[in-house]
Structure 1
Amino acid sequence: MIISLIAAVDEKGGIGKNHRLPWHLPSDLKRFKQLTMGHHILMGRKTYESIGKTLPGRIMLVVSHRQFDSPVDVIYQNSIPAAIAYAEANGENELFIIGGSEIFAQTIEITDKIYLTLVLTVSKADVFFPRINAADWQTITTLTATRHEGDEFVTEFKILQRKH
């Protein structure tokens, strides 16, 4: 099973502010939906709460050290390894890790692929994407920086693959 991470980051690595995304980017949300549809998505409890709803067409795995009330279509796991094992046991071929910062930091070393949206701005973020060692990663796709209709900022989409 491929373990992929998907994130939008600003020029300083910022990914969130006050449990929200610090920008309005409909094109990125559309891309997120296209990439993750039909897959298991793994997130921490705070990210789940910030989304505020279930995401149709995906199996939501929420990692938390404490049990919480969740809808029937959200699967609680008490650890990242348990969530990964659940996805694999249920036939997943590409698990998407969607955040937040603590989950990203704990999974970056086991990630095979990163779907990255670079947001060409510096936000007032209070949570950040973990630093990655560029020598460990190869850019396999880059889409030219563009300001898509309805987007607050210019974005650049990249796909990075871990070098073996």
Structure 2
Amino acid sequence: MAFKRVSLIVAVAENGVIGKDNDLIWYLPRDLKYFKDTTAGHTVIMGRKNWDSIPLKYRPLKGRDNVVITRDQSFQADGAIVVHSLNEALEIAKKAGDEEPFIIGGGQIYKIALEQNLIDRMHITRVHEEFDGNTFFPQFDENKWKLVSKEDHAPDHRHEYSFSFCIWDKIDDSQ
């Protein structure tokens, strides 16, 4: 069985920041719900630091097959499958019959996935603010992607910052 698509999902500040000291910087409940609803029933693929950043009470992420990538051959993640490469992680998702696995971070894993041209769709929550951070989403060539949907959200009593849910599909340049 082949994938329908391989997707990534991320929340990114205007200056490319996605985290600081292995933690989220902002709290946007609607974005957390979007993440949960979008990835439910799928394989979520993440790096070890990302796994470690998930609070213990939420690990493994419920309703999803959790796959953790690490170079550490002795690493174990309770409730997750541990692999040592992104391709190995995708193979696990394929064997599980998942048509759309999700790469959920962090920065290094996103960079590898984009560099290796493995991503077909990107779910990017653009947080309309700049933040101090030390983990970044890699730059991508917008000419190779098409923005297929954008949903804007203004700040409100539960959301300090405005944000937009954006879905980008890779342009098929094989024609």
Tell me the residue number matched to 1:156.
164
Structure 2 counterpart of 1:150, which letter?
A: R
Aligned partner of 2:146 in structure 1 is 138
1:126 aligns with 2:129: no
Q: Which amino acid aligns with 1:84?
A: L
Question: What RMSD over aligned residues (CA atoms) do the two structures have, in Å?
Answer: 1.0
Counterpart for residue 84 of structure 1: 90
Query: Alignment partner for residue 95 of structure 1, among 95, 101, 111?
Result: 101
Identify the residue that residue 77 of structure 2 maps to in structure 1.
Answer: 70
Unaligned runs of 5+ in 2: none
What TM-score results when the alignment is normalised by the length of structure 1? 0.96
Deviation, structure 1 residue 155 = 0.6
Listed as ranges, the gaps of 5+ residues in structure 1 are none
Q: 3-state SS of the aligned residue for 1:57?
A: coil
Is contact 1:136–1:163 with CA below 8 Å preserved after alignment? Answer: yes
State the 1:10 CA deviation. 0.4
Residue from 1, 17, 37 that aligns with 1:34: 37
SS in 2 for 1:110: coil
- Whole-Å separation in 1 of the counterparts to 2:67 and 2:157: 32
Total equivalences in the alignment = 163
Distance between the aligned counterparts of 1:113 and 1:33, measured in 2? 17
Please give the residue correspondences for 1:34-53 in structure 2 after superposition, counting only pairs within 5 Å.
34-52=37-55, 53=59
- SS of the residue corresponding to residue 101 of structure 2 reads strand
Structure-1 residue corresponding to 2:24: 21
More strand by share: 1
Q: Give the conservation status (yes or no) of the 8 Å contact 1:10–1:121.
A: yes
Q: Distance in 1 between matches of 2:170 and 2:157?
A: 32
- Does residue 56 (structure 1) correspond to residue 59 (structure 2)? The answer is no
Deviations 1:27-71 (A, max 9, x none): 100000000000000000000000132111011000001131321
**Same amino acid, percent of matched pairs:** 34
Matched, 1:114 2:122: yes
Offset of residue 145 of structure 1: 3.7
Q: Tell me the distance in 2 between the aligned counterparts of 1:65 and 1:121.
A: 34
C-alpha distance in 2 between matches for 1:16 and 1:37:
23
TM-score by length of 2: 0.90
| Residue of structure 2 equivalent to 1:105 | 111
2:13 aligned residue (10, 14, 21): 10
